[in-house]
Homo-oligomer: A and B are copies of this chain.
Amino acid sequence: MENNKKSTIKDIATLLGLTPSAVSKALNDHPRISDKTKMAVKEAALQLDYQPNYLSSALRKGKSNLVGVIIPRVNSHFFSSVVENIEKVLNLNGYHIIMTQSNELYAKECQEIDTLLKIQVDGIIASMANETIDLEYYQKIKSKGTELVLFDRGEEELHVDYVGIDDYKSSHLVIDHLVSQNCKRVAHIAGFNHIRIYKERIRGYKDALEKWNLPINEHWIIESNLRIEDGRRIMQQLLDAPERPDAVYVAGDIAALGALQVILENNIKIPEEMALIGFSDEPFTSLTQPSISTVNQHSDQIGKLAAEAFLERINNPKKKTVNRIILEPELIIRQSSNKNGLSS
């Protein structure tokens, strides 16, 4: 235990009077090695506390068994839950993950990609930063022969496997519910239109309003980074406008929290005077007073499916077809939009 220098196959070989190659084959259950030798080698390995040198085997095999995961930020239940589930699936298959965060910054994202490529991960599973418009760096991943799977925020142009929810439909669920609560003037605190998922939410929002013959007011669709301060600022802006909405659909829970604060600070009753719906089902939405209705994105499923998509691609490198897995969104109705006051 206190023996500081690590033991190698060479140590095992000299201990048993074998060659390193015989030891290597024994450890890897090569068919031509006798059972007797295998037993002896494995016991010696245990006895010497042998740990295979990951660097050398990765170098020789050209395979690191590492997968990089890039998420916009870690401080979000959605993303950390996705990562947790990616890890669970990949660990079972002999892979380890390296988690990195872009902090929603394009420059940081590029840097993380470079790092991961440098470490020679076998693949990258990523959700893109809000800032990212230029896809060149993601192209680079593919051109290096590293596998790439995107989830949640991913653009179709990249032609890689993708896992996410049906954002267009999510907006329909939200608007349908608000209409059922007699809301007539629904504003949308949106994400940036250049990101596919937010574009889809905006499109769904408009189409759903149209479906119910409700007015579409372009001043009521305001794009932002969806941080808490964005939610606060935009909500105040909506309240200060000549015509007030009677419901706000926010494309992210954090911004919805900001909006909630501003509504309460203005002594406006929720949901009676202003209904509020967020997006992502972050845990705090059930803890606020009132609790916030939101859309569940099935983070556990997304993580699992993204990991499986990676594994499938590793196992079938020649496969050319691209998988797009789209999950069903689920509306969670809480106090902030429930005028019947039945749910909590």
A143 and B54: CB pair below 8 A?
no
A118 and B75: CB pair below 8 A?
no
Contacts of A75 in B (CB 8 A): 74-77, 80
| A239 CB within 8 Å of chain B | no
| A53 CB within 8 Å of chain B | yes
CA distance A306 to B165 in the complex (A): 40
| A268 CB within 8 Å of chain B | no
Contacts of A224 in B (CB 8 A): none
| A4 CB within 8 Å of chain B | yes
Closest to A140 in B: B1
A55 and B58: CB pair below 8 A?
yes
The 10 closest A-B pairs by CB, nearest first: A55-B59, A74-B74, A75-B80, A98-B98, A74-B80, A96-B115, A55-B58, A99-B99, A54-B118, A56-B59
B2 and A143: CB pair below 8 A?
yes
Closest to A118 in B: B54
| A219 CB within 8 Å of chain B | no
Interface size class of A (residues with CB under 8 A): 35 or more
B53 and A59: CB pair below 8 A?
yes
| A284 CB within 8 Å of chain B | yes
A residues 221-262 in Cβ contact with B at 8 Å: 228, 257, 261
CA distance A76 to B6 in the complex (A): 36
CA distance A6 to B120 in the complex (A): 11
Closest to A98 in B: B98
Copies of chain A in the complex: 2
Contacts of A135 in B (CB 8 A): none
Per-residue B-contact encoding for A72-103, CB less than 8 Å = 1, 0 else: 01111100100110000000000010111001
Give which listed residue, B53, B120, B284, contacts A53 with CB less than 8 A: B120
| A145 CB within 8 Å of chain B | yes
Contacts of A96 in B (CB 8 A): 115, 118-119
Which of A's residues lie within 8 Å of B, judged by CB? 1-2, 4, 6, 51-56, 58-59, 64, 66, 73-77, 80, 83-84, 96, 98-100, 103, 115, 117-120, 140, 143-145, 228, 257, 261, 264, 284, 287, 289
CA distance A209 to B145 in the complex (A): 64
Given A52-B118, A55-B55, A98-B99, output 13 extra A-B contacts at Cβ < 8 Å: A1-B143, A4-B143, A4-B144, A53-B59, A53-B120, A54-B119, A54-B120, A55-B59, A55-B64, A66-B119, A96-B115, A99-B100, A228-B287
Q: What are 16 inter-chain pairs, A to B, with CB distance below 8 A? A: A1-B140, A4-B143, A6-B144, A51-B117, A51-B118, A53-B59, A54-B119, A55-B59, A66-B119, A74-B75, A74-B80, A74-B83, A96-B115, A96-B118, A257-B287, A284-B284
CA distance A53 to B289 in the complex (A): 54
CA distance A53 to B54 in the complex (A): 14
Closest to A115 in B: B96
A135: min CB distance to chain B, Å: 14
